Structure 1
Amino acid sequence: MTVFSYPKREKLKSKKAIQALFSEGKSVSVFPLKLIYLKTQLPENVSVQCGVAVPKKNFKNAVKRNRIKRLMREAYRLNKALVFNNTEAKFAFLILYLGKDMPSFQGLAPKMKLLLDKFNTLPHE
């Protein structure tokens, strides 16, 4: 498996898992990103499943929301090795974009790296 891939089995799509994230998950933030995570059992043979979300409240235009999600997925794809190499547990991730203005990839990628570094420094029971 290549490190810089983001295959379908690593994408968080389960409605139950997403609801569990919002009800039981813990979070860590590096503005404008917020990571909600939950230690869970994953059906596939992956250690992390990740999804991204952009609130409709802040971005009415779907084209803008989709662009931000694409940038977030790309930033995650390039930095996910930070999580994969430092944990044996299985997690579900949901990354939210909290900002109100359109980000650039150069502004978003370092924030994603900081967010994943911050997640790694937390104790995971």
Structure 2
Amino acid sequence: MTRTPGDISRRRNIADAASGFLSRATVVLYGCPEPGQDERDVMTRLRRYADARDWVVIGEVTDLSPATIPFQERRGWPAARNAVTSGQAKGIVATACPQTPVASDLEDWLRDNQAFLSEVATAPSTAEGVAQ
């Protein structure tokens, strides 16, 4: 039996009401593909990560700025920031960037906005590369 989006939404609402949990986290996806990575693949991994946690994705931002640029100076950052400061999103699901550790400014901003950041590895794991 194929469920329509309306069926899925209705079932989630019923489950939320029955459990006392009345709202799911809203997030914005913030993808920063590395050179050579397909933007669509990066965003697909971020969406799967959010979907697996039953988070509601309210927007997607693809930022092609080099990973060495601080987050505040990246071209796509204002869109992700605005999603949180406007109250549309409670969190950001972003690509993990080992070259740029989470800065204390970002931690302070997240705390001030009562938001969260979830970093996701977007490179295929070795388990995914195993022959089938």
TM-score, scaled relative to structure 2:
0.28
With a CA cutoff of 8 Å and minimum separation of 6, indicate the structure with the bigger relative contact order.
1
TM-score, scaled relative to structure 1:
0.30
- Bigger radius of gyration, 1 or 2? 2
